[in-house]
């Protein structure tokens, strides 16, 4: 399998718990907290591990919460290239009301990543022992990091022949696409912003994505459509993939799981149409689990087989 590196500029430790009847001004009795590594690229590395695939996770880390993050990743046997920082790694908090099933997600801001620390991240990426085939840049930017820094990373990676996969949002996504990447995974809201419209229907999604490809901003665009599945566009392909109907318990980690499926498919030689179905299967499987859990491999296998059988004739694979 081809070598994969993930980059998470704003990692987190996710703390989750459950409580009965969440109401204000009352002391709420919670279950024992569960701690998990978090952040876009880190979750991609964790999801890849569920396929038995190794990747190297690059991320800034600091303080006691940073030490916990590293310990949690070691427990999951994730290869790491951490960059030490002065600021402490952020923590997020998720509570599920067990009586209603409703989920409350509290996202904390990350510590500022200084100019020197940003340079260290870039140095770490440039000096990896082996040049990867894929670099996955996923997640939000912490304070102090401008989109231009991500553009510098993309430019350096492309100079080494690395295929860059991007899953971010806002100005960072826009500027990175102006530089050009191999694969981008915007959601339909982000694609709408880039197209300069309030919303897009299925036909318009494909047209807007095709414009990105024609303009040389990326080779593959996979637009996440939420419960409607995904749309993949290349120069020669437009394909809409429905999401299988499942009982949804949480959407946390679904996007990262989808990216992992996409990268795993490409790294193992699947066709683009097969790859996107694997990505949809991973994202859908993640919604079947509560809290911050990612997908279970057996759920992915089942959903992927269903998608191949019902939406992809053998001759078209």
**Catalytic residues, which ones?**
256
Please name the helix (run of DSSP H) or strand (run of DSSP E) that holds residue 82, with its range, or none. Answer: strand 79-84
Alpha helix stretches (DSSP H) within 8-60: 40-50
Residue 144 buriedness (CB in 10 A; 0-12 / 13-18 / 19+): middle
Integer Cα distance of 185 and 282 in angstroms? 14
Integer Cα distance of 51 and 294 in angstroms? 12
Alpha helix stretches (DSSP H) within the chain: 40-50, 63-75, 115-126, 147-159, 170-179, 188-195, 202-214, 254-267, 272-287, 297-311
């Amino acid at each position: 399998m081809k070598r994969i590196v993930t980059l998470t500029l704003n990692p987190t430790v996710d703390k989750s718990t459950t409580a009965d009847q969440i109401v204000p001004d009352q002391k709420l009795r919670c279950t024992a907290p569960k701690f998990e590594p978090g952040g876009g690229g880190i979750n991609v590395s964790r999801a890849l591990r569920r396929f038995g695939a190794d990747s190297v996770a690059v991320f800034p880390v600091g303080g006691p919460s940073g030490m916990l993050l590293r310990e949690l990743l070691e427990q999951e046997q994730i290869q790491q290239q951490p960059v030490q920082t002065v600021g402490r790694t952020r923590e997020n908090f998720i509570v599920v009301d067990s009586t209603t099933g409703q989920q409350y997600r509290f996202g904390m801001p990350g510590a500022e990543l200084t100019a020197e620390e940003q340079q260290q991240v870039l140095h770490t990426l440039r000096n990896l022992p082996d040049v990867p085939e894929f670099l996955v840049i996923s997640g939000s930017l912490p304070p102090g990091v401008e989109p231009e820094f991500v553009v510098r990373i993309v430019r350096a990676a492309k100079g080494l022949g690395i295929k860059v996969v991007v899953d971010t949002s806002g100005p960072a996504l826009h500027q990175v696409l102006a530089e050009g990447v191999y694969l981008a995974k915007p959601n339909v809201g982000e694609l709408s912003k880039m197209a300069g419209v309030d919303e897009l229907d299925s036909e318009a999604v494909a047209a807007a994505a095709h414009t990105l490809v024609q303009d040389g901003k990326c080779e593959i665009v996979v637009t996440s459509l939420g419960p409607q599945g995904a749309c993949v566009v290349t120069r020669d392909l437009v394909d809409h993939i429905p999401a299988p109907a499942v009982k949804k318990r949480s959407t946390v980690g679904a996007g990262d799981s989808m990216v992992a499926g996409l990268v795993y498919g490409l790294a193992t030689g699947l066709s683009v149409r097969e790859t996107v179905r694997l990505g949809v299967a991973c994202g859908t499987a993640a919604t079947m689990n509560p809290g911050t859990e990612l997908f279970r491999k057996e759920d992915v296998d089942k959903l992927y087989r269903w998608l191949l059988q019902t939406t992809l004739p053998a001759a078209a694979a």
